[in-house]
């Protein structure tokens, strides 16, 4: 598995893109970065977008992708996949014919460029040979992470935004996770804000990792706030976890 990091930032500044992780060029996990990174050819290959939660920095690219499909008259249909509460929030607050057109009805219902696909937590979905399972996480709004497994049994787990949780790791159990993409948004000095808003700090991240029955082969940190990037990087290095490093926009993860 090769996963292209379109964006891995917890805020937007020049050189820091919101979350988007592209698997095999056609399956996207979160759409904070999409049309601002991918060219027309790459955009045309996307068929499935898995959304962790409905915050703007994780969904905004859906809007511009749909607009590009219509304007270019491409015969491209894209599935927007998540738990029902997330899809309802996108429909109500983003693709609502007010803030942005409802592209699940354009050009018409039968031929719409976007289609909502609801999934249940812990229920596998087969997409392009991958087994993808949504797992609930602890955030300020309904949210899930995604456990992805290929035909050879290689797995990665993308948490999306999450604060401290026990139930997520209990559900993962003793499964081998070869690559864990997990957020760390704030420095340790902002622990109270992190917990209040459903995020992690380096120290909280270490506490989460200790809850795992099996340590992942590789741990990739995503979603840091750029304003505190140096501090977060320094605090992560002090954890002394050799398999852990911060992600960078534009790199490719091999699982």
Q: What is the pLDDT of residue 17?
A: 98
- The answer to whether the CB of 137 falls within 8 A of the CB of 164 is no
* Residues in CB range of 69: below 8 A, 6 or more apart: 76, 78, 113
CATH number of the structural domain spanning residue 146: 3.60.15.10
Q: 0.85 cut: is pTM over it? A: yes
β-partners of residue 179 are 156, 218
Q: What is the pLDDT of residues 41-91, one digit of tens each?
A: 999 999 999 999 999 999 999 999 999 999 999 999 999 999 999 999 999
Tokens read off for 73? 């008259």
Tokens read off for 56? 């703007």
Q: What is the pLDDT of residue 157?
A: 98
Q: Where in the sequence is the domain holding 149, given as residue range(s)?
A: 2-254
Instruction: Indicate the pLDDT class of residue 111, thresholds 50, 70 and 90.
Output: very high
Q: What is the pLDDT of residue 211?
A: 97
Q: What is the pLDDT of residues 134-152, one digit of tens each?
A: 999 999 999 999 999 999 9
Enter the DSSP assignment of 11.
S
pLDDT, mean of residues 88-110: 96
- The answer to whether the CB of 203 falls within 8 A of the CB of 192 is no
Q: What is the pLDDT of residue 187?
A: 98
Q: What is the pLDDT of residues 18-45, one digit of tens each?
A: 999 999 999 999 999 999 999 999 999 9
Q: What total of structural domains would you count in the chain?
A: 1
Q: What is the pLDDT of residue 152?
A: 96
Q: What is the pLDDT of residue 97?
A: 97
Distance CA 102, CA 88 (A): 12
Distance CA 19, CA 157 (A): 15
Q: What is the pLDDT of residues 163-177, one digit of tens each?
A: 999 999 999 999 999
Q: What percent of the chain has pLDDT over 90?
A: 100
Q: What is the pLDDT of residue 194?
A: 98
Q: What is the pLDDT of residue 138?
A: 98
Q: Are strands 78-82 and 252-254 parallel, antiparallel or unpaired?
A: unpaired
- The answer to whether the CB of 221 falls within 8 A of the CB of 200 is no
Q: What is the pLDDT of residue 169?
A: 97
Q: What is the pLDDT of residues 176-214, one digit of tens each?
A: 999 999 999 999 999 999 999 999 999 999 999 999 999
- Sign of the CA dihedral running 170, 172, 178, 182: negative
């Amino acid at each position: 598995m090769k996963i292209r990091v379109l964006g891995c930032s917890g805020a937007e500044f020049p050189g820091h893109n919101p979350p988007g992780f592209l698997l095999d060029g056609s399956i996207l996990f979160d759409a904070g970065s999409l049309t601002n990174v991918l060219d027309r050819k790459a955009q045309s290959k996307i068929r499935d977008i898995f959304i962790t939660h409905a915050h703007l920095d994780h969904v905004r690219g859906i809007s511009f992708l749909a607009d590009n499909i219509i304007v270019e008259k491409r015969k491209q249909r894209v599935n927007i996949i998540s738990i029902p509460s997330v899809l309802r929030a996108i429909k109500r607050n983003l693709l609502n014919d007010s803030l942005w057109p409802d592209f699940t009805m354009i050009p018409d219902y039968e031929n719409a460029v976007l289609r909502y696909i609801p999934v249940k937590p812990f229920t596998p979905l087969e997409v392009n040979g991958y087994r993808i399972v949504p797992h609930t996480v602890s955030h300020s709004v309904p949210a899930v992470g995604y456990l992805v497994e290929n035909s050879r049994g290689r797995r990665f787990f993308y948490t999306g935004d999450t604060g401290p949780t026990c139930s997520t790791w209990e559900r993962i159990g003793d499964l081998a996770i070869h690559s864990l993409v997990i957020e760390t948004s704030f420095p340790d000095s902002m622990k109270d804000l992190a917990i209040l808003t459903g995020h992690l700090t380096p120290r909280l991240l270490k506490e989460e990792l200790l809850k795992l029955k099996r340590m992942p082969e590789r741990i990739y940190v995503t979603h840091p706030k750029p304003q505190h990037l140096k501090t977060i990087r320094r605090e992560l290095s002090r954890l002394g976890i050799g398999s852990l490093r911060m992600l960078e926009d534009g790199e490719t993860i091999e699982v």
